[in-house]
């Protein structure tokens, strides 16, 4: 996996005023003839969309938009955004992996300055901040009539893996139990 691009620190941060985040909770509701409607979740990773706004001078806009055209329509790390992930860390703003998803819209609040608005989305593989709380659940391979012993052997019986198992990477684990 290639190293993720980081939003340059010399560029202006997204504004707090007019900052919006929408979280798609993925709830599907089915009305019933009698009783409460049934509902279920469509997915576990809820899509987050941001409406970002940047204010900068016109000379700064040239370098900023060159960088955006080259990098911002793929996932990159933006250093200071507010969301649920920042709140979990007990912070106001934390790094987020995002990409721009729409057109840049400009207006001119005062001579020599521009306001740029752009929609963005959170990377669905955004690492959950902080340590994951253990659930103390067991992972046991096999079937109920023939469960595996109290260890995990990766690989094949003629060529088992060594005594350790790597499940993904810290940023992108294979599973959360």
Residue 67 lies in a domain: yes
Residue 92 lies in a domain: yes
Residue 78 lies in a domain: yes
| Exposure class string for 80-104: b at 16+ Cβ within 10 A, else e | bbbbebbeeeeeebbbbbbebeeeb
Residue 30 lies in a domain: yes
Give, for all 177 residues of the chain, the pLDDT tens digit.
Answer: 467 889 998 998 887 666 677 777 777 888 888 888 888 877 776 778 888 999 999 999 999 999 999 999 999 998 888 877 777 778 888 888 899 999 999 998 889 999 999 999 988 887 665 555 555 555 555 555 665 555 555 555 555 555 545 455 555 555 544
* pLDDT at site 177: 46
Structural domain count, the chain: 1
Q: Residue 65 is part of a domain; what is its CATH number?
A: 2.40.30
**DSSP H helical ranges for 39-166:** 58-71, 84-88
Mean pLDDT of the chain: 76
Residue 24 lies in a domain: yes
Residue 108 lies in a domain: yes
Residue 164 lies in a domain: no
Instruction: Tell me if the pTM is above 0.75.
Output: no
Domain extent at residue 30? 5-122
Residue 162 lies in a domain: no
The Cα–Cα gap between 149 and 154 comes to 13
């Amino acid at each position: 996996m290639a190293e993720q691009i980081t939003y340059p620190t010399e560029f202006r941060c997204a504004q707090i005023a007019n900052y919006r985040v929408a979280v798609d909770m993925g709830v599907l509701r089915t009305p019933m003839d009698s009783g409460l409607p049934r509902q279920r979740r469509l997915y576990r990773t809820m899509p987050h969309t941001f409406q970002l706004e940047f204010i900068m001078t016109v000379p700064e806009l040239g370098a900023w938009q060159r960088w955006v055209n080259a990098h911002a329509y793929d996932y990159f790390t933006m250093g200071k955004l507010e969301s649920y992930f920042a709140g979990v860390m007990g912070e106001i703003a934390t790094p987020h992996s995002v990409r721009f998803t729409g057109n840049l819209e400009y207006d001119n609040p005062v001579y020599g300055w521009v306001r740029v608005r752009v929609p963005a989305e959170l990377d669905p593989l955004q690492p959950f901040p902080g340590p994951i709380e253990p659930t103390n659940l067991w992972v046991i391979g096999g079937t109920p009539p023939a469960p595996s012993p109290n260890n995990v052997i990766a690989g094949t019986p003629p060529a088992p893996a060594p005594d350790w198992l790597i499940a993904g990477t810290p940023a992108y684990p294979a599973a959360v139990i």
